[in-house]
Amino acid sequence: MNTLLAFMESLQWHWPWAFVLLPLPLLARAFLTPRQPQQSALRVSRLQQWSTEQQNAGPGRESNLKRLLALLAWCCLVTAVARPFQMGEAVPLPQSGRDLMLAVDISGSMQVEDMQVSGSWTQRLNAVKYVVNDFIDQRQGDRLGLILFGSNAYVQSPLTFDRETVRKYLLEAQIGLAGEQTAIGDAIGLGVKRLLSQPSDSRVIVLLTDGANTAGEVDPVKAAGLAADNQVRIYTIALGADSMVVPSIFGSRRVNPSRDLDETTLTEIARVTGGEFYRARNFEELQKIYDVIDQLEPTEKDPEQFRPQHSLFQWPLGVALTIAMLLWLAQAAVPAFQRLSHKSETDPVKGGQ
């Protein structure tokens, strides 16, 4: 009994106004059913007819039972429409306070295969996807956003707690979708714009590129100054090997695949905003860099709680559908039974020859 009382106390309704529909069948019966003319006397012309009416007294009680079941099904249906639910226990939400915008370069140079992962050479973007995928796994409680940039910069995902969405958009990124050049300044400016609505002590941009600013309308250092004015820290990562062996018509030769990398500008961006500059020459260094960024001191926020709602509408709906199915089966079975009985009474008895 105590359990039932506790359940009733915790029961709530999304649409309680739906209960005004409960008397609808009674109103319909009262106003829509045609009235039968009253008879002054009971006329019984035959004894057989009297006997038949006596036999039909039982089905009258059966009809009342069907009406009661139909009303019960209607009440259950209205209860389901009212959408009952029960509030669960409060669940604390993890809140570390970080708001991280990941700005990833997807320009044409990111297709250079100078990163070795598990013994195989792969494109720079593939190595970034591998490392950042693990980085996203560690971001429980942080809001993450994703900016992809090439000749232009685009917000692929705004700040969200939905890490799976950010991961999906990153893994789907393709080289050249944003153009072949590199607009570092535009990516920084877009990230700052998206972070302005967040607390000033938790705004962070992690920018990864393998080149120099060759496109866009905003100078990277000026964009960094704008970020500093708005308390946005930028951690810059310069990606690319210092040397690699490539085949040529004269045999193999060693080249510098990162000759266009502008380390000076990236270092200045980090310095102006109070962040750090990192150089990733191989896959292992890239992993270590993200491990360091993972240790960023979080900003404590007021704890938030979430109370899950457990929907219960399916139970009264299931009862209503079950009763409706039983009534339909009963209604369909009666004519079939009557036809069977009538046939057995009218069939002649076959005698033996």
pLDDT digits (tens, 9 = 90+) for 12-62: 888 899 899 888 888 887 777 666 555 555 454 444 444 444 444 455 566
pLDDT higher for 49 or 247?
247
pTM over 0.95: no
CB atoms within 10 A of CB 55: 9
| pLDDT for 348 | 57
Cβ atoms of 5 and 81 within 8 Å: the answer is no
| pLDDT for 277 | 92
Tokens of 164: 């799976």
| pLDDT for 353 | 45
| pLDDT for 47 | 45
High-pLDDT (> 90) share of the chain, %:
32
| pLDDT for 208 | 93
| pLDDT for 351 | 47
Give all strands of the β-sheet with 99-105 in edge-to-edge order: 153-160, 143-149, 99-105, 203-209, 232-239, 277-280
- Name the residue type at position 340: L
Domains and CATH numbers, the chain: 93-305 (3.40.50.410)
pLDDT higher for 6 or 280?
280
Cβ atoms of 137 and 166 within 8 Å: the answer is no
| DSSP secondary structure of 150-169 | SSSEEEEEEEES-HHHHHHH
**Torsion sign, CA atoms 224, 230, 231, 234:** negative
pLDDT digits (tens, 9 = 90+) for 306-333: 667 788 889 999 999 999 898 888 777 7
What number of CA atoms fall less than 13 Å from residue 171's CA on the CB side?
A: 10
Question: Could you give the 3-state DSSP secondary structure of residue 91?
Answer: strand
